[in-house]
Amino acid sequence: HEFMLDVHRRLHELKGANEPLRRVADDIVDRGWLVCFDEFQVTDIADALVMKQLFEELFAAGGVVVATSNRAPCDLYANGIQRQLFLPFIPLLEARCIVHSIEDSKTDYRLAIGNTSESAHIYLQEGDDQGWNEAQRRLIGRTPRIVKVELKTASGRLVKAPRADLNARAAWFSFDELCGGNTGASDFLCLAGAFDVIFLDQVPTLDMRDLNRTRRFITLIDALYEANVIVVIRAAAEPSRLFVADKNAVLDEGHGDLIGDATYLHKGARD
């Protein structure tokens, strides 16, 4: 998300210039010829439309790409809006990158514990007021001094934090405040840069009929994780039961590009 937001920002700055994508690609390679992506995914039509030319220019400039993804190249942007415009990118990626599948691995690395620090992340069940208050006491160290804060993304979009403690660099949100409206990666990256601790309350159970909020939730956690933000969550269910993969659910056609089909899900959820 951060990479493509930066690409679009640079393209906006170069509006009217000759070969803007080539200039963006040259700038990227000038900073480093090895470009690494964790969780490579395409969920936005604006990204999909420029992907082929951008990567053509990256490879032509001498760039080398290493990426991890939940999808094979042929499944990227599955069910996405106007996917036919994205399809020419797939053979380019397959021709220039060696694809290694770990689907048959006995270890699900997504479930591997990478940080055992007690203060890294706190996950609480709904109604656990004692744990919630203890987390605040431990991470803030005092009674929070709550104020309203308005932030701006790199593109100038306004992001509101209705409950924040600026000295503690902490903020409190309900799930719907962050994932129930018109929010996206740029908003979450802005919050991740402004706060060291995020308290997220009232996280509900989700299912296949609620893909908009589910996709935003995934993007939010990705952004906070990458920025090393401490996350305190109070939710309606334990993590393994927070998303219910109901294969009989009726999906809206416009939701395909948010998560895609069942190939995205863990094998156990698909079964």
pLDDT at res. 131: 92
Burial 177-198 (b: 16+ CB within 10 A, else e): bbbeeebbbbbbbbbbebbebb
Instruction: Give residue 264's pLDDT band: very low, low, confident or very high (50, 70, 90).
Output: very low
Pairing of strands 147-152, 170-174: unpaired
Pairing of strands 197-203, 170-174: parallel
- How do residues 144-167 score in pLDDT, each as one tens digit? 899 999 999 877 889 999 999 999
Instruction: Give residue 247's pLDDT band: very low, low, confident or very high (50, 70, 90).
Output: low
Q: 73-77, 158-162, 224-228, 265-269 — which is least confidently predicted?
A: 265-269
- How do residues 22-64 score in pLDDT, each as one tens digit? 999 999 999 999 999 888 888 778 888 888 999 999 999 999 9
What sign does the CA torsion over 205, 211, 217, 218 have? positive
Give the residue-averaged pLDDT of 255-271.
38
Indicate the pTM of the whole model.
Answer: 0.68
What sign does the CA torsion over 41, 177, 172, 147 have? positive
250 pLDDT exceeds 60?
A: no
255 pLDDT exceeds 50?
A: no
pLDDT at res. 121: 61
Residue 76's Cβ-count burial label (10 Å; 0-12, 13-18, 19+) is buried
pLDDT at res. 44: 79
